[in-house]
C-alpha cells in the first residue's frame, strides 16, 4: 500500500456518490487522507426519485441532475467521466474504455442496473425506459411534438405497474389531462405487489380518478412504432399507441460480468455482511448490482433508500480498514415508502405513519430536499422552491 491510500469508486449513483462524499467528510490523519476517485459514464448525477417531476415541469433538470463537477467542488474528490473496461484484482487496477488505468487500495463497485430491452421484440427500438435524464428528455420531446399536433387523443402504454410505472402514469395523466389515454400494463394480478396496502390503495384511487386503464395479468407480445401487442388469457390484441414506456425489470450492468467476481444466480455480486465482496476484502459492493441480504436472509429492496444506507456503511468500513479499526456489519432499516401520485398528491407510509394527499406531497418533497447530496445544492433548490410561487405571481 502507498503512503496515501487510493480509493476508486465505480458508479456515480446514490451508492457511489454518497460513499465518496461520506469518505471525504470522515476524519483522517493528515498524512493518510486518501485519494478518492469517482468514475461515471455521465457528467451529471441524477436524483432519480424526483425524475417524475420533469414530466410535469414541477422541477427543472438542474435541480435533480446537477453536474458532478458542481457537487464535488470544494472537496478532494476527483471525478472522471468514463466506462469500466477491466478490473485486475491481482494488480489492484481498473482500466477504462479509453485505456486510462487507475490503481487502487480499496475499490467500490456501485455500477447499478439497467432496464432490460431484449425480452420482447421491439422494446429496444420503440420503447422508452425511465431511469436517466436522457430518458426524461426523450419522453418530453415526444410529448411536445404530440401536444403540438392536431391529434385529439395521445395514447400511451406503460409496461410495468411497480413504483416507477404508477408514478409515471399519474404524472403523464396530469400533464395531458383530457387528451391523455394512459394504459398501465401489469403481468401480475395487482399493481405495486411489494407495497404496503395503504400505498397500494392510494395508488389505485389516484389511477381511477385520472381515468387510467389498468390491464392486470397481461403481458406484451411485441412493440412497433405505433402499436403494442397485449396478451390476456392467451388472446392477443394489437392496441394503437403513440408512446410506450418500459419500466419492467432490472439488469445488472454488463461491466459486472467482466470483473471476475463471485456472482449469484441473478448475476449480482455476492458480499459479506460488511459489504466486502466475497473472497476480495479490498473490494466493496453496494446498490442494485450487489446481492445484499437482511440479517434474517431476505433480499433488501433495490431503492435509493437502501443505497444511501449502504453508502454510509461502505464509507465507514473503508475508513475502518485503513485505520486499523473493526468493520461493521450492514444493518438495513426500512424507513418507509413514498410515491408521487400526480400534481400536488403523494402517499407516505412508514415509521408508524400513513397519509396521502397534498400534505404527503409536501412531506415527500422536504424529505428529498434533505436527501440531496450537498448542502449547497439543498440551499439552491430550497430557495428556488420558495421563490417560484412569487415569480409565477409576478409574471
User: For residue range 131-153, what is the model confidence (pLDDT) as tens digits?
Assistant: 999 999 999 999 999 999 999 99
Q: Which pTM does this prediction carry?
A: 0.92
pLDDT in tens, 255-311: 777 777 888 888 889 999 999 999 899 999 999 888 887 777 777 888 899 999 999
User: Do 363 and 307 reside in the same domain of the chain?
Assistant: no
Q: How many domains does the chain have?
A: 3
Tell me if 55 is assigned to some domain: no
- Give the per-residue pLDDT at 395: 60
Are residues 222 and 368 located together in one domain of the fold? no
**Are 178 and 226 part of one and the same domain?**
yes
257 and 294 assigned to the same domain? yes
Q: What integer pLDDT is reported at residue 38 of this predicted model?
A: 98
Last residue of a domain, one of 246, 261, 289: 246
Whether residue 298 sits in one domain with residue 236: no
Q: Assign residue 302 the CATH number of its domain.
A: 3.50.50.60
- Whether residues 135 and 238 share a domain: the answer is yes
Residue 262 lies in a domain: yes
The reply to whether 77 falls in a domain is no
Domain that residue 363 falls in: 337-394
Residue 71 lies in a domain: no
The last residue of one of the domains, among 299, 322, 345, is 322
Output the 3-class SS for the chain: CCCCCEEEEECCCHHHHHHHHHHHHCCCCCCCCCEEEEEECCCECCCHHHCCHHHHCCCCHHHHCCEHHHHCCCCCEEEEECCEEEEECCCCEEEECCCCEEECCEEEECCCEECCCCCCCCHHHHEECCCCHHHHHHHHHHHHHHHHCCCCCEEEEEECCCHHHHHHHHHHHHHHHHHEEEEEECCCCCCCCCCCHHHHHHHHHHHHHCCCEEECCCEEEEECCCEEEEEECCEEEEEECCEEEECCCCEECHHHHHCCCCECCCCCEEECCCCEECCEEEEEECHHHEECECCCCCECCCCHHHHHHHHHHHHHHHHHHHCCCCCCCCCCCCCCEEEECCCCCEEEEECCEEEEEHHHHHHHHHHHHHHCCCHHHHHHHHHHHHHHHHHHHHC
Amino acid at each position: 500500500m502507498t503512503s496515501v491510500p487510493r480509493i476508486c469508486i465505480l458508479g456515480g449513483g446514490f451508492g457511489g456518490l454518497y460513499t465518496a462524499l461520506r469518505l471525504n467528510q470522515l476524519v483522517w490523519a493528515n498524512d493518510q487522507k486518501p485519494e478518492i476517485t469517482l468514475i461515471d459514464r455521465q457528467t451529471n448525477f441524477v436524483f432519480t426519485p424526483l425524475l417524475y417531476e420533469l414530466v410535469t415541469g414541477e422541477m427543472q433538470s438542474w435541480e435533480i441532475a446537477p453536474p458532478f463537477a458542481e457537487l464535488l467542488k470544494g472537496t478532494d474528490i476527483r471525478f472522471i467521466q468514463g466506462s469500466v473496461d477491466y478490473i485486475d484484482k491481482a494488480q489492484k487496477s481498473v482500466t477504462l474504455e479509453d485505456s486510462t488505468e487507475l490503481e487502487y487500495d480499496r475499490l467500490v463497485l456501485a455500477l447499478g442496473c439497467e432496464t432490460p430491452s431484449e425480452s420482447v421484440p421491439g422494446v429496444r427500438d420503440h420503447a422508452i425506459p425511465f431511469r436517466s435524464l436522457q430518458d426524461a428528455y426523450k419522453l418530453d420531446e415526444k410529448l411536445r411534438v404530440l401536444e403540438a399536433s392536431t391529434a385529439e387523443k395521445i395514447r400511451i402504454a406503460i409496461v410495468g405497474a411497480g413504483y416507477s410505472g404508477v408514478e409515471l402514469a399519474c404524472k403523464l395523466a396530469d400533464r395531458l389531462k383530457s387528451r391523455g389515454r394512459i394504459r398501465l400494463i401489469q403481468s401480475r394480478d395487482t399493481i405495486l405487489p411489494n407495497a404496503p396496502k395503504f400505498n397500494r390503495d392510494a395508488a389505485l384511487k389516484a389511477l381511477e380518478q385520472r381515468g387510467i386503464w389498468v390491464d392486470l395479468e397481461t403481458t406484451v407480445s411485441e412493440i412497433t412504432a405505433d402499436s403494442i401487442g397485449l396478451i390476456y388469457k392467451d388472446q392477443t390484441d394489437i392496441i394503437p399507441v403513440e408512446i410506450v414506456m418500459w419500466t419492467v425489470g432490472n439488469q445488472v450492468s454488463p461491466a459486472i460480468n467482466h470483473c471476475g467476481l463471485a456472482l449469484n444466480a441473478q448475476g449480482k455480486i455476492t458480499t459479506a455482511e460488511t459489504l466486502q465482496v466475497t473472497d476480495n476484502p479490498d473490494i466493496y459492493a453496494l446498490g442494485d448490482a450487489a446481492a445484499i441480504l437482511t440479517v434474517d436472509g431476505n433480499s433488501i429492496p433495490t431503492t435509493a433508500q437502501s443505497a444511501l444506507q449502504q453508502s454510509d456503511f461502505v464509507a465507514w468500513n473503508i475508513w475502518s480498514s485503513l485505520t486499523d479499526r473493526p468493520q461493521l456489519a450492514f444493518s438495513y432499516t426500512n424507513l418507509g415508502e413514498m410515491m408521487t401520485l400526480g400534481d400536488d398528491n403523494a402517499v407516505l407510509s412508514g415509521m408508524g405513519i400513513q397519509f396521502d394527499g397534498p400534505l404527503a406531497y409536501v412531506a415527500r418533497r422536504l424529505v428529498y430536499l434533505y436527501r440531496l447530496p450537498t448542502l449547497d445544492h439543498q440551499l439552491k433548490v430550497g430557495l428556488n422552491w420558495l421563490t417560484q410561487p412569487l415569480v409565477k405571481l409576478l409574471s
